[in-house]
Amino acid sequence: MTVINLKTGERTRRVTDTEKIAAALGSFDGVHMGHRAVIETAKRAAARLGAKSAAWCVVPGEKSKNGLLTTTEEKIILFKGLGLDYAVIEDFEAVRDLSCEEFVFSYLKKINCLGAFCGFNFKFGKGAACGCEKLSELCGAAGIACEASPAVSVRGKTVSSTLIRSLVENGRVDEARDFLGDFYFAVSKVSHGRGLGGALGFPTMNQSADKIKVLPRNGVYFTLCDIDGARRAGVTNVGTRPTVNGHERRLETHVLGLDGDLYGKAPTVRFVKFSRPEVKFPSKEELCRAVMRDVEAAEEFFSKFDFDGGKFL
């Protein structure tokens, strides 16, 4: 278990004996609109119970088949932005064999939980044997407040990580935003590339995403980049760079109008809209002309964008 104080950034191995928490429970992949409803319920309950608000987040096991929309560190960024006091990060292996009763009467008590809040499809206990109805029953017996949030729908579709994953993998990042409540994003350190972008006149920051992280389909995207507290417009290629015989799938972003060295920093790249598929061009000259067109298209697109609110004018 890792407990992160989202106000101070301090990390410890356990919840202190003196603090009580009202916890939103789940894996929170994507921290989407459905998850946010659960989190808001936990925050309101924390105020009512005189407790600290927390997200209790179980990290999937290594054998998880689905790619993740959000890494653990990205979830922590989102939890902080949503105004939670704590994040309690637990390894799936540490709780997978607990019975439903053990999870409530031993585990939740151990983390000083005064309130447990979940979504309509929350499962817990060995073999995912129990759902939110059983959680409510057991919490009632344990003196723990409990509430399950109903499904959240957007444009007639139930919000789910599975739906969002499909949209992102197909490059439909603008649609995914409606279900996420924010832009789909990736955070990773800028590493040294081959310098080809700079040689072509369009310097790029190169980022290798976490291997299990879901990336949008290969192609060029209009993006917003959070760098040193400022939000800048950019154009990002997701893919392997086939024109120069690349192999590793990565992000290459040209930040519009940016001068400076970003090596070692970890900017947030937010995907706003798909522009075109990745193409293998017959020459570097053709690639350069295509990149020039991409930059001009991005400049035109963002000329109508309000950066202060992160919304279109």
Query: Is 301 in the same domain as 220?
Result: yes
**Any domain includes 303:** yes
Query: Which residues is 255 bridged to in the sheet?
Result: 234
Query: Is 42 in the same domain as 92?
Result: yes
Query: Is 146 in the same domain as 246?
Result: no
Query: Is 6 in the same domain as 148?
Result: yes
Domain count, the chain: 2
**Any domain includes 178:** no
Q: How far apart are CA 49 and CA 138, in angstroms?
A: 19
**Lowest model confidence (mean pLDDT) among 38-42, 143-147, 199-203, 225-229:** 199-203
Query: Is 124 in the same domain as 202?
Result: no
Query: Is 10 in the same domain as 123?
Result: yes
Residue 141, pLDDT score: 97
Domain coverage including residue 65: 2-154
**Token pair for residue 96?**
């997978």
For residue 28, what is the domain's CATH number? 3.40.50.620
Residue 282 has pLDDT above 90, yes or no: no
Report the chain's mean pLDDT, rounded to a whole number: 90
pLDDT tens digits for 74-111?
999 999 999 999 999 999 999 999 999 999 999 999 99
**Contact present, 87 and 57 (Cβ < 8 Å):** yes
Cα–Cα nearest to 31, from 160, 173, 163: 160
Mean pLDDT of 201-215: 83
**Any domain includes 159:** no
DSSP-assigned letter for residue 218: S
Residue 129: HSE in the Cβ half-sphere, 13 Å Cα cutoff: 12
pLDDT tens digits for 151-181?
999 999 999 999 999 999 999 999 999 999 9
Query: Is 6 in the same domain as 127?
Result: yes
Q: How far apart are CA 47 and CA 49, in angstroms?
A: 6
pLDDT tens digits for 236-245?
999 987 666 6
Residue 305, pLDDT score: 77
**Any domain includes 312:** no
